[in-house]
Amino acid sequence: MPKLLHIQSSPMGELSFSTRAAKAFVDAYAGAHPGDSVEVLDLWKTELPQFDFTAASGKYKIMRGLPHAGDEARAWEGVVRLIEHLKSADKVLVSAGMWNFSIPYRLKQYLDVIIQPGYTFSFDPEKGYSGLVTGKPLQLILASGGEYPGGSPAAGLDFQKPYLEMIFGFIGFTDIRTLRVEGTLTPDAESNLNGITEAASSAGKVF
């Protein structure tokens, strides 16, 4: 059964704009793909591995082609489990708010855990970097309190959309679609959400 994995990174529950827009996407997706399963990974309700000294030492060992020591191997069990979980999905949806012009730290922690040499990317001195998470479309649904229209001076402050599109591209995603609800801290917040909800429903049907 094909699986859509929804990686949810707002802690705001039903008040979250990114989660509400993502819900419209998922509802439309489920209606159009009745044989598929949808799994939610709520990054605020999931225990993510700490990427501490032992885990980082294990990463450097892989980069140097060295075997893991016992404690590194144990620390990496959780890392590999999270990577395999991502790879088990056929399609991926990530919803996120903008925090300090970038992404919430739980989503950054998730990315710091799963982006690993030999697992989600590889490096070849002649060919450079290659992503290893291939063949899956990715839908990003992003919310921000302010507005960052392309070409405006404010766009230069936006490290949310460009970062997420770059980093998922780095690990192999080539079909990346992005929807944004902006101005969620303005009086137009709800009407902005309504506009994006319709777009999210249309996008979910054909994902």
Q: Which of 152, 8, 165, 35 is nearest to 93 (CA)?
A: 8
Residue 153 CB, nearest approach to ligand FMN (Å):
14
Distant-in-sequence, close-in-space partners of 78: CB < 8 Å, separation ≥ 6: 49, 113
Interface residues with ligand FMN (CB under 6 A) are: 10, 12, 16-19, 97-101, 143-146, 184-185
Q: Which is nearer to ligand FMN, 82 or 98 (CB)?
A: 98
Residue 10 CB, nearest approach to ligand FMN (Å):
3
Q: Which is nearer to ligand FMN, 133 or 196 (CB)?
A: 196
Q: Which is nearer to ligand FMN, 114 or 181 (CB)?
A: 181
Q: Which is nearer to ligand FMN, 75 or 138 (CB)?
A: 138
Residue 197 CB, nearest approach to ligand FMN (Å):
13
CA distances to 37, 47, 67 from 2, rounded to whole Å, are 6, 25, 35
The residues facing 40 across adjacent strands are 6
Residue 37 CB, nearest approach to ligand FMN (Å):
24
Give dist(CA 173, CA 87) in Å, integer. Answer: 11
Q: Considering only CA atoms, give the Rg of the chain.
A: 18
